[in-house]
Amino acid sequence: MPSPPPSNAAFLQAARHFLVASNATATEQAFAPVAQASTSMPLSSLDALEKQVRHELGQNAQQTRTWWRPRTRTRTQRHLTWLDLCNADGYVRERTLRCLQAAPSALFLALALRRLNDWVPEVRAAAREHLPRIAAASAPQDVAQALWAVLPTLDSWGRFGAAERKTLEELTASESVSRGLLERILDAPAGPVTSILVQVTRTPLIDTWLKTVAHNAIQPAVRARSFRFLMEGRATWVAGRTWTWTDLKWCKGKFEPVTGERRLEVTYPLQELLEAALRDASPSVRRIAAEMLIKQPAAVGTQAAVLAATLASDRSPHLAARGRFAMARLSEAGAST
């Protein structure tokens, strides 16, 4: 087993001490050092952390197995704890989900959320049933932090279906949780914030806040995606992938993304959005405005020529060229009428 990174070492050491000392009379006080160590853990590399915890659980089970019954299923000789979410035994993971209460930290909540992609169907069913109860009993800031760690990875979850998606949407529907996610989307200077925004906008959760995100988010990519959603009047995401044959004779093909979408529940004048986007400091945001101005000049009305002239004077040569192209198209349209 590879050595854990320094950030995980204290947590794994606390977990190891707990497993060695625990027995059928173990209490919450005995688990307290593990819970305390988990509060300072970064919610990254959760897959590797699960493997390390599973290794510790397996080592402890081997040490407590009696020599005269080596091939029988090891019965749990202690109270089930949050660590057993990583147990190699699917029966143990399922029973653990059914007996858990409030989460002591965001780390354990993230491990519980990952059970929605568990390889055992019964564990996924238990997660769908009990995660809303566990989240309701936990601190909203921990739920938001756990969702923040899990949402960017959803596209890689091969066993994550519509029922699991509905459970996750129930968790984000809480006002306190959604506000925590919104604050992180606005303030995060780095990280996969755009992916999180796309996942959150699959429901009307922050439709009324998209304009605020477009104006005030720190990351330019987040502002650009928000402006695109608002200008198009719809939220889009990758709903899956489908196989397409490119050369049937030679059995060649590729996976192509399948896009899902829904209409936004809020609408704003396109001219207002274009003016705001053209004032943005980031070229990536102004590029969205240029694209929409070229695509939908009629929706802007009489101010389209003014906005095209503003774009033609942009300090970015590429955007200025698009502005000149928009002006030429508007001139041709005016001459033809």
Phi, psi of 23 (to 5 degrees): -150, -165
Is the four-CA dihedral 210, 214, 215, 218 of positive or negative sign? positive
Q: How far apart are CA 235 and CA 224, in angstroms?
A: 13
Does the residue 199 lie in any domain?
no
- Going by pLDDT thresholds of 50, 70 and 90, the confidence category of residue 34 is confident
Does the residue 233 lie in any domain?
no
Residue numbers of the domain that contains 302: 269-337
The tens digit of pLDDT for each residue in 119-144 reads: 999 999 999 999 999 999 999 999 99
Looking at residue 76, what DSSP letter applies?
Answer: P
Crossing angle of the two packed helices 270-278 and 283-295, in degrees rounded to 10: 150
Does the residue 7 lie in any domain?
no
Does the residue 318 lie in any domain?
yes
Tell me, what amino acid is at 264? Answer: L
The tokens describing 215, both together, are: 């104006």
Are the C-beta atoms of 319 and 284 separated by less than 8 Å? Answer: no
Does the residue 18 lie in any domain?
no
Contacts of residue 203, Cβ cutoff 8 Å, sequence gap at least 6: 169, 172, 173
The tens digit of pLDDT for each residue in 62-108 reads: 665 554 455 554 444 557 889 999 999 999 999 999 999 999 999 99
- Going by pLDDT thresholds of 50, 70 and 90, the confidence category of residue 235 is very high
Report pLDDT for 158: 84
Q: What is the DSSP string of 15-28?
A: HHHHHHH--TT--H
Does the residue 292 lie in any domain?
yes
* Structural domain count, the chain: 1
Does the residue 242 lie in any domain?
no
Does the residue 113 lie in any domain?
no
Q: How far apart are CA 160 and CA 70, in angstroms?
A: 36
Question: Between the ranges 11-15, 54-58, 220-224, 245-249, where is the mean pLDDT highest?
Answer: 220-224
Does this model's pTM top 0.95? My answer is: no
Are the C-beta atoms of 270 and 292 separated by less than 8 Å? Answer: yes
Among the listed residues 278, 287, 286, 276, the one whose alpha carbon sits nearest the alpha carbon of residue 215: 276
